[in-house]
Amino acid sequence: MPHCKSILLASLLCMAGAAPLAHAHITLQTPSAAVGSRYHAVLRVGHGCQGADTTRIRVRIPDGVLAVKPQPKAGWDLALKEGPYSQAETLHGATVDHGVREIEWTGALPDAYFDDFSFIATLSSALKPGDTLYFPVVQECTQGVSRWIDTSGDKTADNPAPGLKLTAPQAHGGHHEH
Ligand SMILES: [Cu+2]
């Protein structure tokens, strides 16, 4: 069910629930990064599903996001789904054609708290500066599911996917291994 929508009471509660800046659904704490760089993604989960506690966060990895490594979290089970990339990519001189396409953390996060979920990844140098990459997130809760999967770029959408604005490559090529 879309967040901050449905009936009037729900949307009033939603708006009253937090300050406008704090209430940003699920967002990337660093919203821009250079193509070809190693990126540390930090997904902030600011609330549950219409007041229900969060039990699972599932992130889809878009094309061009390579060599993903999630950060384990105490109290959370971590699962990775691997699969083929849509095209072969060159990484440190080697050709890679598959990798992590989905990360899933399963645990418990009360609606009254926030938490951060993080991973590192290499942004393919084949990506285009100026584009926005979207990381669709499905948030499962003790009651209900919020699907943050709108990739239209509409900031007023009910369920925007977290977006990463791509910038020009750094002068020195920019990435190093973690
Ligand atoms: Cu929200």
Asked if residue 162 is part of any domain, the answer here is no
pTM: 0.83
Per the structure, the complete domain to which residue 98 belongs is given by 25-155
Asked if residue 106 is part of any domain, the answer here is yes
* Token pair of 98 as six digits: 């598959």
Asked if residue 170 is part of any domain, the answer here is no
Is the pLDDT score of 147 beyond 80? yes
Read off the pLDDT band of 1 (50, 70, 90): very low
Query: Of residues 12 and 175, which shows the higher confidence score?
Result: 175
Ligand 1 centroid distance, CA of 123 (Å): 27
**Residue type at 157 in one-letter notation:** A
Ligand 1 centroid distance, CA of 154 (Å): 15
Asked if residue 3 is part of any domain, the answer here is no
Concatenated DSSP letters for 43-73? Answer: EEE---BTTBPEEEEEEEPPTTEEEEEEPP-
Asked if residue 164 is part of any domain, the answer here is no
Ligand 1 centroid distance, CA of 121 (Å): 26
Instruction: Domain count for the chain, please give it.
Output: 1
The Cα–Cα gap between 176 and 178 comes to 7
What residues flank ion ligand 1 with Cβ within 5 A?
25
The Cα–Cα gap between 160 and 4 comes to 12
Predicted pLDDT at 177: 54
Here the CATH number for the domain that contains residue 49 is 2.60.40.2230
Asked if residue 108 is part of any domain, the answer here is yes
Asked if residue 30 is part of any domain, the answer here is yes
Asked if residue 151 is part of any domain, the answer here is yes
Predicted pLDDT at 176: 56
* End-to-end Cα distance, the chain: 38
Tens of pLDDT along 75-126?
A: 999 999 999 999 999 998 899 999 999 999 999 999 999 999 999 999 999 9
Ligand 1 centroid distance, CA of 24 (Å): 5
Tens of pLDDT along 122-140?
A: 999 999 999 999 999 999 9
